[in-house]
Structure 1
Amino acid sequence: MCGRFALNTDVETILKQFSVASCENLPFSYNVAPTEPALCLVNNEAQITGIQMRWGFIPWYSQALTGKKPPLLINAKAESILEKPAFKQSVQHRRCVLIMSGFFEWLHLEKTKEKQPFFIEERHHELLAIAAIWQQEKDENLPSFCLLTINAHNPLVKTLHERMPWMLSPLQTQEWLREEQLSAAHLKELLAADKPIDLMAYPVTQAVNSAKYKEKDSIKPKV
């Protein structure tokens, strides 16, 4: 599961790394939490553009419920996403790519019962492209997105969590953003096309445990 990430970059870097035609103002943050804005790439009439979206969406079938607080979905398992009613329409027709500098995972310390956050990023500080889906909810200005996760095949991430964001290669990014409806066979091909990404992880300040903490040392190695 991925419950927090960072976006520490500029528009020029995004335009260059992802060959994006245009990009909205960045929702810059060292500690992005669910319900907060982030930057996603979408296919807009055969042009890739970067737009702001809100993290977490409400299943279409629960938006009409009254008297109950509907669930906010921030992650979905990529391997079974086409089988889930909450996600099927979006994954077939509304795919996007979340841009992040890196993400946080927590190590539970047995002796102290504390949670130690780790920041995980590409070793050379390249931006990560994460498979995601989106929808437009009623009475919301921004579209909302849900990021996709896969089994943690990266040994580094696996020491912290059994799941990790689905990090796409440049070719996978192109395929994911194609306008055609996604079939189960194509999804299986994309999952099988995963390439190893050279990641590094290091402990950061425990202040990150609070979603309200947004300081620069959120992504700096803990001293």
Structure 2
Amino acid sequence: MCGRYYRRSDKQRIAEAFKVGRLPPGFELPTDYNIAPSTFQPVIRSNAETGERELALMRWGLVPAKIADPDSFKIFSTTNARTESILDKSIWKSPFQQARCLVPVDGFYEWLQRPSLPQPPPIEPEEHGLFGDIQSKPKQPAKPKAGSRPLYKFEMPDGAPYALAGLFSEWRPRKGSTHPPLDTFSIVTTEANELTDPIHDRMLVILHPRDYDRWLNDYDEARPPLDLLRPYESEGMRMTPANRLVGNVRNNGPDMLNGA
């Protein structure tokens, strides 16, 4: 699961990179170096009337349209949709068949989940004569504290913005409800590639620009774009250490991109 990403591109760069049509009047898009679930973020979808690509703000964490009360759905984690179950679970199947979007990012973060990278060995009491010949008792591995695990960021080699495969839902209040309309999205994940695998066994689905139109507009039920939900080529990505302070959503700014 990926629960953090970042966006340093401004609205103009995003509009140019993803060939977005006219921006909404007064649309503001400040940079964000620590994007977390439940926050409102820009996604790109096709306008239902004109077919133009448009930017829309949606909350990260998909809420199905058929839910009576969005607040009652907060106990479920819907930030990521697994490729393997996208047609098996109704919560993903409907938006996959009817409401797909691009999620513009400059990179995403992932904490080390797999101990396959070289790690410094712990110093035991019997080593280096620290405690003479006293043998240490077997220790249970300590559960890593929040912010203690190494953190890495994944971006394009040239630092350009790119698009993640997203699904969205438009919830509208029932009669008598005082809850305002709510648009939400989820990001699709797939198995890891060779670059991300030492860190985590999953990765976000990165789409090639050549596939944007198909992802947004091709709703041929006989040929759903499942083939696009594959790991991105490792050689087309760059992985570098990031700041562990990303673990606290209150921390933000360009220094989040620097290993610490």
Partner of residue 149, structure 1? 189
- 2:167 counterpart (130, 133, 145): 133
Higher helix share goes to which structure?
Answer: 1
In terms of mean alpha carbon deviation, does 160-169 or 20-29 score higher? 20-29
- 1:104 counterpart (101, 109, 116): 109
Task: Return the alpha-carbon distance in structure 2 between the equivalents of residues 67 and 4 of structure 1.
Answer: 23
- Listed one character per residue, the Cα deviations across residues 158-186 of structure 1 (whole Å, up to 9, x for unaligned) are 111111110000121110100x4353642
TM-score, scaled relative to structure 2: 0.75
Contact 2:6 2:105 in 1 (8 A): yes
Contact 2:112 2:199 in 1 (8 A): yes
Cα deviation for residue 42 of structure 1 reads 0.4
- Listed one character per residue, the Cα deviations across residues 89-138 of structure 1 (whole Å, up to 9, x for unaligned) are 11111111100110010015775833121111111101120111111224
Report percent identity of matched pairs. Answer: 26
Partner of residue 158, structure 1? 197
Give the letter aligned to residue 74 of structure 1. Answer: T
Task: Return the alpha-carbon distance in structure 2 between the equivalents of residues 65 and 142 of structure 1.
Answer: 8
Contact 2:207 2:228 in 1 (8 A): no
Partner of residue 17, structure 2? 17
Partner of residue 138, structure 2? none
The question of 1:35 aligning with 2:45 is answered: no
Cα deviation for residue 201 of structure 1 reads 1.6
The question of 1:207 aligning with 2:245 is answered: yes
Contact 1:62 1:70 in 2 (8 A): no
Distance 1:172 1:195, change over 3 A: farther
Contact 1:152 1:158 in 2 (8 A): yes
Q: Which has the larger radius of gyration?
A: 2
- Listed one character per residue, the Cα deviations across residues 48-88 of structure 1 (whole Å, up to 9, x for unaligned) are 01111110023456545997854131000123312111112
Task: Return the alpha-carbon distance in structure 2 between the equivalents of residues 43 and 68 of structure 1.
Answer: 27
- Cα-Cα RMSD: 2.6
The question of 1:83 aligning with 2:123 is answered: no
Partner of residue 56, structure 1? 61
Distance 1:188 1:205, change over 3 A: closer
User: Where does structure 2 lack aligned partners over 5 or more consecutive residues?
Assistant: 123-141, 174-178
For 2:160, what is the secondary structure of its paired residue? Answer: coil
Distance 1:119 1:193, change over 3 A: closer
User: Where does structure 1 lack aligned partners over 5 or more consecutive residues?
Assistant: none
For 2:195, what is the secondary structure of its paired residue? Answer: helix
Contact 1:60 1:86 in 2 (8 A): no
- 2:227 counterpart (189, 196, 199): 189
TM-score, scaled relative to structure 1: 0.87
Distance 1:107 1:195, change over 3 A: closer
Give the letter aligned to residue 169 of structure 2. Answer: Q
Task: Return the alpha-carbon distance in structure 1 between the equivalents of residues 168 and 109 of structure 2.
Answer: 22
In terms of mean alpha carbon deviation, does 113-122 or 58-67 score higher? 58-67
Task: Return the alpha-carbon distance in structure 1 between the equivalents of residues 63 and 238 of structure 2.
Answer: 33
Give the letter aligned to residue 41 of structure 1. Answer: I
Distance 1:213 1:140, change over 3 A: farther
